[in-house]
Amino acid sequence: MSMINEAKLLSTQPQTTRFTWLIVALLITLVLLMTLSLATGPSQISYLDSLRYALGFSLDDSDEQLRMMMDTLRIPRVWVALIVGIGMALSATLLQHATRNPLAEPGLLGVNSGAVFSLVVGMTYFSVESSLSMLYWAGAGALFGNFIVLGMAQWLGQQHPLRLILLGVAMSATFGGLANYLLLADQVVLDQFRYWNLGSLASADSQAIYTALPCFALACALTVWLLPSLRLLQFGDTQAQSLGVNSSYCRLGVLVCSTCFTACAIAIAGPIGFVGFLAAFYARCFYPAKLYQQTVLSALFGGVFILIADILARILIQPFELPSGVLLAFVGGPALMWVAGSYSKKILSIQVE
């Protein structure tokens, strides 16, 4: 028996080492991208100056303009990118395992569209403008969308991953049509909404971050608490309940987490799609059957992807700027088509160890 245990221990050591090196590589990449993001924009700032400022080194009095630009524009933008990227990645990972559907993602399932429609209602009829009000209205729409998604997932079961996506497309079209109808009646709201709807980090500000951060932190803590139960849920509701897991409470926790993550992202950056799908997909490629590793990797991939998109958005058509959501759609759309075309293969299976 001791020899068997020793063999198991030795077999897990290469996997642990691989995971550790992946985390280190992604963290280094994330830090480099954050520093590059601070140095990217219409006003050129050297990479070294950005790094010095980010590390807290004092600046000369002549660098007051740099200090103002970093504090009011670029540092908040990096924080918003991390909140959006990590939040949407974790939301996608949780939804994929709660629905047992590897294609699940807030943008593809209509959750983002539900949050946007709710926000349009608030902006049109209740003059919603503050960050806190936008968070509440986006949360209400995301909650409604998530409720429909989890209910449909229970009804369809695990054998129909593409049908759930088709229902999400129908939800997105419905919410989008209703939102457009309301916008046509109010030109002022339409002007505010037009650019924001493409998904961009350009309007990032500190007040929005302070408003969203408690909700984001609560969702992250709840995600950590849910992981053991969610892992057991992958064996099926019956077996999970025999092991002491209440599947209804577990899915309710996923509903709350996904709602909080989506509401934070929509309220501060607009509906940026595909980042959650891409992050969860790449995490699952490395660890297809390990939920804990998938969750950590997806969060890091989400931050990396959104920062890359935001940096490219400021570089490609200078002095103008592309919405980050457009760039992610260029990458995420073909990736989704390839994955959906492989639905009969192993890549579309949710595994667990």
User: Quick one: pLDDT at residue 59?
Assistant: 59
The DSSP letter of residue 130 is S
Has residue 351 been placed in a domain? no
Has residue 52 been placed in a domain? no
Per the rule left: phi > 0, alpha: psi between -120 and 50, beta: everything else, 80 is: alpha
Has residue 122 been placed in a domain? yes
CA dihedral 106, 282, 245, 224 (to 10 degrees): -80
pLDDT class of 347 with cuts at 50, 70, 90: very low
Q: Residue 286's domain spans which residues?
A: 84-342
Has residue 7 been placed in a domain? no
Has residue 71 been placed in a domain? no
Q: How far is CA 328 from the centre of its chain?
A: 12
How many structural domains comprise the chain?
Answer: 1
Has residue 53 been placed in a domain? no
223 contact partners, CB below 8 Å, separation of at least 6: 90, 94, 257, 295
How many other C-beta atoms can be found within 10 angstroms of the C-beta atom of residue 206? 14
For residue range 20-70, what is the model confidence (pLDDT) as tens digits? Answer: 999 999 999 999 999 889 888 777 677 777 777 777 665 565 567 777 888
- Between 42 and 86, whose confidence is greater? 86
CATH number (domain holding residue 308): 1.10.3470.10
Please state the pTM of the whole predicted model.
Answer: 0.88
Cα separation, 254 vs 146, whole angstroms: 9
Q: How large is the average pLDDT for residues 189-212? A: 80
CA 62 vs CA 58, 66, 67, 224, 239: distances in Å: 12, 9, 10, 45, 66
End-to-end CA distance of the chain: 21
Cα separation, 203 vs 269, whole angstroms: 7
pLDDT class of 83 with cuts at 50, 70, 90: very high
Has residue 31 been placed in a domain? no
ω before 319 within 30° of 0 (cis)?
Answer: yes
User: Quick one: pLDDT at residue 218?
Assistant: 95
pLDDT, the chain, mean: 82
Amino acid 94 reads L
Q: On the CB side of 5, how many CA atoms lie within 13 Å of its CA? A: 2
User: Quick one: pLDDT at residue 219?
Assistant: 95
Has residue 13 been placed in a domain? no
pLDDT at 349 exceeding the cut of 80: no
